[in-house]
Structure 1
Amino acid sequence: MSRNDQVHAFWNNLAQDFEAAHPGYRVEITHQPDYEYKERLLSMLGSPTPPDIMHTWGGGHLEALRVAGFARDLTKEMSDGWAMEFRPGVLQSFTQDGRIYGVPSSVELVSLWTNKALLEKAGVKREQLATWDGFLRA
């Protein structure tokens, strides 16, 4: 579910802290490459003992899990104020039909760089790229 040792250590420590605070509960965290995990997750979900908590991606991947009945509606838990701790828009890819089915464990910044000369040559103004619809029309 992550790509570096520091993040692995963070999750492992969090699991140990949870187990110490909740005797009788065991947390097993597995770290593996994304492509392997996606395949393994499907096997785990189809097993007699599927995971209680899983890492997944928002959008289409989470939606497929939701439709298959593997994603729990977390709206009630999030309505207690926890959802307000996230920046606007962060929960959007975890929300379907006004219901929240996931919580981000990290947020990544994705940047789009433009070549000003090529945009001018194509007759595209940078302001047109301010929204996704504008980007698609350009």
Structure 2
Amino acid sequence: MRLLGKLGLAAVACLLWASSASADTTVKWLHIEVNPAQVKIWEEVARSYEASHPGVKVEMQFLENEAYKAKLPTILQSKDRPHIIYSWAGGVLKTQIEADVLADITDSVKSGGYSDTIAPAALAAFTSNGKVYGLPTALSQVGFLYNKDLMAKGNVDASKIKELAPEIWTGR
């Protein structure tokens, strides 16, 4: 199974393990994924999980990116909030942790062996105070580019620019 499929399965497994799902349980999964190939993988993961866990139904719902960003804070405050969401690390994660709208999934991530299959830096992005609150579904690199002439004009020595500490990016 591909990495994103495994992460989708991990998300469902962590949620259900943490909440001890019983018969006739509906798991709501809210996402912003527009790539049909990725949505198909997640749908396959959901159907596979349902097949091996009678009485569990996984409902996936899509919201467009900007609508998602605008509505998510309100959705997370409701009693009918989704069980699995797409979110961001850094300040967004910190705010959601402080609002107590995310579950601590540390034990299920570690006991399920998922922490051994995810790059430590990727897992750290969703970890705060030693507790894991999410799993990465995509990784990207951020580059810093500059115009040498403008830097020289501004009397900035680019060799003095240091890498930002991980705490800045992850909100830890």
Into which bin does the TM-score normalised by the smaller protein fall?
Answer: 0.7 to 0.9
Q: Summarize deviations over 1:73-100 as a string: whole Å, max 9, x none.
A: 1222233342232223212331222221
Q: Summarize deviations over 1:88-125 as a string: whole Å, max 9, x none.
A: 32123312222211111111222222222323333434
Matches within 5 A, 1:6-21: 6-21=37-52
CA distance in 2, matches of 1:90, 1:127: 27
Secondary structure at 1:79 match in 2? helix
Deviation of the 1:9 alpha carbon: 1.9
TM-score under structure 1 length normalisation = 0.78
CA distance in 1, matches of 2:37, 2:160: 40
Distance 1:5 1:75, change over 3 A: same
Q: Which has the higher strand share?
A: 2
Secondary structure at 2:135 match in 1? coil
1:113 maps onto 2:113 in alignment: no
Aligned residue type for 2:98 = V
1:94–1:101 contact (8 Å) kept in structure 2: yes
Q: Summarize deviations over 1:32-79 as a string: whole Å, max 9, x none.
A: 222212343334333333222222111222222211221111222233
TM-score under structure 2 length normalisation = 0.65
Which of 62, 65, 69 is equivalent to 1:31? 62
Indicate the larger mover: 31-40 or 120-129: 120-129
1:103 maps onto 2:132 in alignment: no
2:93–2:126 contact (8 Å) kept in structure 1: yes
Distance 1:67 1:21, change over 3 A: same
Aligned residues: 133
Aligned residue type for 1:25 = V
Point out where structure 2 has 5 or more consecutive residues left out of the alignment: 1-31, 166-172
Give RMSD over aligned pairs. Answer: 2.3
Q: Which has the higher contact order (CA 8 A, sep 6+)?
A: 2
1:82 maps onto 2:114 in alignment: yes
1:22 maps onto 2:48 in alignment: no
